[in-house]
Amino acid sequence: MVFFVAVSLPPGISSYPQEFAALNRGFVLMFPLTKASATLLSLPATYATAFAFIWCYGKIISAMATSKLLPSVLAAKSRYGTPYVAIIAGSVISYITCVVAFYTDRNNYAFITCMTCAFLTYIAQCISYISLRLNFRNMKNSKFRSPFGIAGAVFAICVWVLALVGMTAFQENHYVVVPILVVLIALLSVFYVVYVRKRQVLSSEEERVLLVVRDLM
């Protein structure tokens, strides 16, 4: 909905890549604001999204640490069950990446790489959903059922594939994201072979977080 509203505002979609914030045009048309002031109205949604990502990567990093995919220190939790070490570690890495990219990455290679990795992750999640629906029909753990089912997941895959193609092939970056991804995958593969392979276990926390079902009828 945000996308369709944003691109429908004058002067149209062709100039939209130059916009700093997606909703600025609408705010400027609705209120007597400059674009700089209108950007402030997007901050609440930005912070809300940030907290959602913090919750997500904190859980995932902690679960991976309990399964020994990452150093076990990242699995530490407070007495309230908060994976504070994972949250701090993920936040520090994120801030360092943002600061370095802000001062050195004039071509937005870091942003494009992160978005490409995100699209690949979303595609993998949709494929996992389809696999669970086909192979674990008696799954009891999940309290939510998608009203769109497998068809919705297939549609989402198509959307993310198109986004992936757009991000890698139509950003005037000479396809630089492709070798960057190859290097990242190679480094992570080496890390897995050298550090993880002989230590890895499947922890109960990873089962819960990554939707691997234990209790089947």
Predicted confidence (pLDDT) per residue in 141-162, tens digit: 556 677 888 999 999 999 999 9
Given a cut of 70, whether residue 216 has pLDDT beyond it is no
Higher-confidence position of 1 and 71: 71
Kindly state the tokens that stand for 117. 């990795």
Whether 64 contacts 49, CB under 8 Å: no
| pTM, rounded to two decimals | 0.74
Distance between CA atoms of residues 143 and 172, nearest Å: 44
Kindly state the tokens that stand for 140. 């009891």
Given a cut of 50, whether residue 106 has pLDDT beyond it is yes
Confidence class for position 195, pLDDT limits 50, 70, 90: confident
Distance between CA atoms of residues 39 and 147, nearest Å: 35
Distance between CA atoms of residues 74 and 65, nearest Å: 6
Task: Please report how the helices 177-191 and 149-169 are oriented relative to each other, as an axis angle in degrees rounded to 10.
Answer: 120
Q: State residue 216 phi and psi, 5-degree precision.
A: -115, 150
Given a cut of 70, whether residue 212 has pLDDT beyond it is no
DSSP for residue 170: S
| Predicted local distance difference test score (pLDDT) of residue 48 | 86
Helices (H), the chain: 2-8, 24-30, 35-40, 43-66, 84-104, 109-135, 149-169, 177-191, 204-209
Confidence class for position 24, pLDDT limits 50, 70, 90: confident
Kindly state the tokens that stand for 184. 């990242």
From 30-34, 116-120, 124-128, the region with the lowest mean pLDDT: 30-34
